[in-house]
Amino acid sequence: ETGVTQSPTHLIKTRGQQVTLRCSSQSGHNTVSWYQQALGQGPQFIFQYYREEENGRGNFPPRFSGLQFPNYSSELNVNALELDDSALYLCASSRLRGGDNEQFFGPGTRLTVL
């Protein structure tokens, strides 16, 4: 069974730029959720994708957008980067409507915005 993988591991961008982060789901999982974790805080839910559609969104502006592909991998795109976007971005996969609530997280992408 393959776990959740994310790329890249680290990324440095400047304010105003755009960034794309990638995630591969765990085998057998059809749902991907993205979280932002600021230093010293718990992860905050950004949005979830199920069957290539956004399935719910947290309190994040539209410049945070995503995609899910037929193989259930996913991308997180952030436009017009701000300094406060510096954080660890986590992807988690799960099996929606499978009767359980287990989410498995990837190692994260650490984004630094200068």
The site for another protein (CB under 8 A) is made up of 4, 6, 31, 33, 35, 40-45, 48, 50, 55-56, 58, 88, 90, 92, 94-108, 110
Distance in Å, CB of 66 to another protein, minimum = 15
Determine the Cα–Cα distance for residues 57 and 61; give it in Å rounded to an integer: 10
What is the maximum alpha-carbon separation in the chain?
43
Distance in Å, CB of 49 to another protein, minimum = 11
CB-wise, 2 or 101, nearer to another protein?
101
CB-wise, 59 or 80, nearer to another protein?
59
Q: Is 23 within 8 Å of 76 (Cβ atoms)?
A: yes
Determine the Cα–Cα distance for residues 79 and 14; give it in Å rounded to an integer: 11
CB-wise, 18 or 36, nearer to another protein?
36
Per-residue tokens: 14:
């400047």
